[in-house]
A = this chain, B = another copy of it.
Amino acid sequence: MDIKALQDEVGKRLPLDRFEHVLRVAETAKQLAELHGESVKDAEIAALLHDVAKFTKKEELREVLLAHHCDQRLLVYHHELWHGPVGAIVAKQEFGVTQENILRAIQFHTTGRANMSRLEKVIYIADLIEPGRKFPGIEQLREQLSGDLDTMMKACIHHTVQFLVSKKVAIYPDSMDCYNEYMMKEGK
């Protein structure tokens, strides 16, 4: 896959500030992949495509989820969760991505899930901590950038769940499974 052509096509589909976020996620993901023995090219492709459906209209997202028999529980959770699964479908159908590993990294980049692959973790983490992100606690997350992938992933999913609970938002089961998996890793 020609990375420059991919960048150009993604750039056409997103507002500039979101495209800049995508480019920063790609840079962070490449660094993480390099550090943790994952394919840098796969990380770049997944990162460039992770938000490809971010500005697709809610009704269209819903139609795609229904047409592709995605996990229908998504429809009762916040529509912010829909662009990942739809993004994976777009990556496959419109960009010709066939590698399951890349498609799953796009699909689960917002929710996380139990038993994530290394590439899924790279994209999840990169999306949360790319240099343009500003939120309380981001510095503590970034400090762990040099640590192992699971330590970072644990800090990231904990941050996300804590944020959602503070906002009294329902938490999608895949995210809870991810959270519980990591919290249990410390033992009781």
Contact surface of A with B, Cβ cutoff 8 Å: 76, 78-79, 158, 161-162, 165-166, 168-171, 173, 176, 179-180, 183-184, 186, 188
Contacts and interface: CB of A to CB of B under 8 A. Distances in A.
Nearest to A176: B176
What DSSP secondary structure best describes chain A's contact surface? helix
Contact of A183 (B169, B173, B179): B169
Give this chain's copy count: 2
Given A165-B161, A165-B162, A170-B179, A78 B186 contact: no
A188 to B, nearest CB: 6
Nearest to A76: B184
A115 to B, nearest CB: 15
Contacts of A183: 168-171
Contacts of A78: 188
Nearest to A173: B176
A166 B163 CA distance: 11
